Amino acid sequence: STETHSKTVLVTGAATGIGKAIAEAFCNCGYNTVFADINLGEAAQNAKRFQHASAITLDVTQEADWQTATTEIVERYGSLNCVVNNAGIGLPLNIEEIDHEHWQTILNVNLTGTMWGCKYGVKLISQYGGSIVNIASVLGKRPVANVPAYGASKAGVINLTQSTALWCAEQNYPVRCNVILPGYIRTALMEKALSEAINPKELLKHFASLHPMNRLGTAEEIANAAVFLDSERASFITGSVLPVDGGNTI
């Protein structure tokens, strides 16, 4: 039918990788789905394949973009029920190499961007009911040596998720807020790390071996968890930290 579905989701960083897979999974579960990204071309390409999907330019670090996007979504679909804060960046720079610009850039996209997503998510979803799903990383819980800014940003996302969950529960808002910790997933982010490695094959084997299940995860496996967390089946789950990591954080 040409009528819109009853639930609407906004996914950030939906041009590629995990965000693209998450947005596609919500499309397949009958949501009106908004593919949001700084890369509008790719996002629009992805959205075109689904009837109840659209693409929007959204730089998660810009509050004005959130204001415009959320207003447009409610005008178009009549509600906003879920925000998935997936957009993120992660380049390695150890504590001796780190500089202010690197720190600011990583924290700005990963943590500040997720903060805006939570703020505007709460503002809209408290009116329509639904949930916020944040994408952190196993590195936010279990740090490694060479990505201090990334790890700190993701630890911040975990804490931000839980304070948002508490606030919504205390206000009696119909909004749950949860965070997924993906293990190592084969995406553009991973390809970049591999391409810069001296021995990519060894590095790939190494990444697989970090998971007791001895393989990398897939973007679809992260998407399944995101769809579950927003579903009615997760109706008593808020503030939870869900590793989807083949056992990495055990």
Please report, as ranges, the residues that interact with ligand NAD according to CB under 6 A: 12-13, 15-19, 37-39, 58-61, 86-90, 109, 113, 135, 137, 182, 184-185, 187-190
Choose between 5 and 43: whose C-beta lies nearer to ligand NAD.
Answer: 43
Choose between 35 and 128: whose C-beta lies nearer to ligand NAD.
Answer: 35
Query: How many residues are recorded in the chain?
Result: 250
Q: Determine contact, residues 17/11, Cβ cutoff 8 Å.
A: no
Closest distance between ligand NAD and the C-beta of residue 134, in Å? 9
Choose between 59 and 230: whose C-beta lies nearer to ligand NAD.
Answer: 59
Closest distance between ligand NAD and the C-beta of residue 144, in Å? 12
Closest distance between ligand NAD and the C-beta of residue 169, in Å? 25
CA-nearest of 143, 174, 146 to 158 is 143
Choose between 129 and 143: whose C-beta lies nearer to ligand NAD.
Answer: 143
Cα dist from 238 to 103, 242, 245, whole Å: 30, 11, 20
Catalytic residue among 31, 120, 150, 184: 150
Q: Determine contact, residues 175/121, Cβ cutoff 8 Å.
A: yes
The encoded tokens of residue 197 equal 């490695």
Choose between 77 and 207: whose C-beta lies nearer to ligand NAD.
Answer: 207
List helix spans (H) across 113-211: 113-128, 148-170, 188-195, 200-209
Q: Determine contact, residues 34/74, Cβ cutoff 8 Å.
A: no
CB within 8 A of 121, min separation 6: which ones? 80, 83, 85, 132, 175, 177
Q: Where are the beta strands (DSSP E) in the chain?
A: 8-12, 32-37, 53-57, 82-85, 130-135, 175-182, 241-244
How many whole angstroms separate alpha carbon 148 and alpha carbon 98? 9
How many whole angstroms separate alpha carbon 91 and alpha carbon 102? 9
Is 150 tagged catalytic?
yes
Give catalytic residue positions. 150
